[in-house]
Amino acid sequence: MHTQLNKMQALPPICLDRRLERLQALYQTIQQNKQNIINAINSDYGHRAAGETLLAEVLVNLEDIKHTIKHLPRWAKADQWTADWKFWPSRCAIVPEAKGVVGIMAPWNYPFNLVAGPLTAAIAAGNRVMVKPSEVTPKTAELIQQLLAEVFTDDEVHVVLGDVDVADQFSRLPFDHLLFTGSTRVGKIIMRNAADNLTPVTLELGGKSPVLIDRNYSLDKAAKSIAKGKWFNAGQTCIAPDYVLIEADRIEALIAALKKHTIDAYPSIDINNDDFSCVVNTQHFERLQGLLKQVPNNQIIDLYPDYQNQVNRMAPVIVNQPDQQSKLMQEEIFGPILPIVAVNDLSDAIDYINRGDKPLTLYLYSNNRTTIRRVKQQTSSGSLAVNETLVHFAQQRLPFGGIGASGMGSYHGHQGFVTMSHMKSVYYQSRLNGNDLVRAPFTQLKKKIINWMS
């Protein structure tokens, strides 16, 4: 790996015309391999709903690439302006330039999307790229290696396959930038490894993304949106609603509405329903079951009481007011379990959110401008989504990223180009140069000029 990195770092940045050509080729390759992407991820999961893969792994990336191709010529231009009047007629500019070689480490929950998205940004900025797909989804990793080899030369994009030890070695390479998507726990390890080389990092982590429902907002509408967002990919989404904050007297009605909309979306959860995805593997399935074993039975609302879990296919579960010290409420759930937490009012909900780590996303259901403004101003999160779940990730003009324990840095659209670029400051001194008027030796005249300028 180190030899490959050295080879790539010795090469010049990818020129603009070639970037556009490669991005267009990547777009076409993804279009032509939709079914292969669906099949690979489905194989890795045991079952992944084809519609979810098309939406989250294919469509989002196609739109991102299309948006990037359209705007890249403008993004790549230098931003120039006349210098401050004291230095007139000199000029200043900010010139985007490639950082060099970018390392991308992708997770298993959206194993294709979270390679292709960062890759699009890195190539757009003119970088060469090394990719480490997740070892948890090996079929998808092999497909990524195959498809990227069809689009890029090996000194433009190089894919590294391997286990956790390979991933650790990968994170220790002296990249010019490293983007990691995964858990907060592993993110800390990645950051320590990168620090030895002073490698700048973008960390896209997770955490417990809360849902806050305004007392005057329709519970039916909120429940429909929450259910569709929470159970997507069986809850294995970094921005999935992690828990719901609501007044105690409305919990019963919320649970009824969640049941209704869950059953409407998934009339059954058994193997004959292609719309509901499996938990990725037995290890994660058992982790989720372990979280539920710590919860008293009278707090668990089983939405499919007649269903017996089969082959990592776990039915959605609601947990009513769990112990705040339980693992369920201390760790990111990352599965089809939805806790509901009772609060007294909006102030209590805001205080609850602020006592924890800053979340990747905060979901608010409200039509009240004052409430929206208050939550926006009094909480801190990577993003705030009002009255809908998940879809803010697909907005190409919105940067995506966390804050604090949920990550650092962001990408998507123009922000991805900026993250993957060194925005170099350039100063052009004009032939007419009056700077000596304020440099030593400081005569009386020069002192008067400095005093006048200040």
Beta-carbon contacts of residue 280 (< 8 Å; ≥ 6 apart): 44, 45, 108, 109, 136, 137, 236, 312
Question: Which one of 52, 57, 156, 204 is the catalytic residue?
Answer: 204
Question: Which one of 52, 57, 238, 278 is the catalytic residue?
Answer: 238
**Mean pLDDT value across the chain:** 97
pLDDT of residue 271: 87
> In 3D, which of 66, 67, 71, 64 has the Cα closest to residue 16?
71
pLDDT tens, 380-427? 999 999 999 999 999 999 999 999 999 999 999 999 999 999 999 999
pLDDT interval class at 308 (50, 70, 90): confident
Where in the chain is CATH 3.40.309.10?
210-396
> In 3D, which of 202, 209, 179 has the Cα closest to residue 360?
209
User: 264-299: string of b/e by CB count within 10 Å (b at 16+)?
Assistant: eebeebeeeeeebbbbbbeebbebbeebbeebeeeb
pLDDT interval class at 311 (50, 70, 90): confident
pLDDT interval class at 437 (50, 70, 90): confident
Domain 2-205+403-426 has CATH 3.40.605.10: yes
Active site residue 204: yes
Where in the chain is CATH 3.40.605.10?
2-205+403-426
pLDDT of residue 309: 82
- Cβ atoms of 338 and 241 within 8 Å: the answer is yes
Active site residue 15: no
In sign, the C-alpha dihedral spanning 259, 261, 266, 267 is positive
Place of tokens 């809850």: 235
pLDDT of residue 49: 98
pLDDT tens, 172-186? 999 999 999 999 999
pLDDT interval class at 141 (50, 70, 90): very high
d(CA 417, CA 98) in angstroms, rounded, equals 9
pLDDT tens, 8-61? 999 999 999 999 999 999 999 999 999 999 999 999 999 999 999 999 999 999
Q: Is the pLDDT of residue 374 over 90?
A: yes
Q: Is the pLDDT of residue 112 over 90?
A: yes
Domain 210-396 has CATH 3.40.309.10: yes
> In 3D, which of 338, 115, 136 has the Cα closest to residue 230?
338
Q: Count CB atoms within 10 A of the CB of residue 44.
A: 21
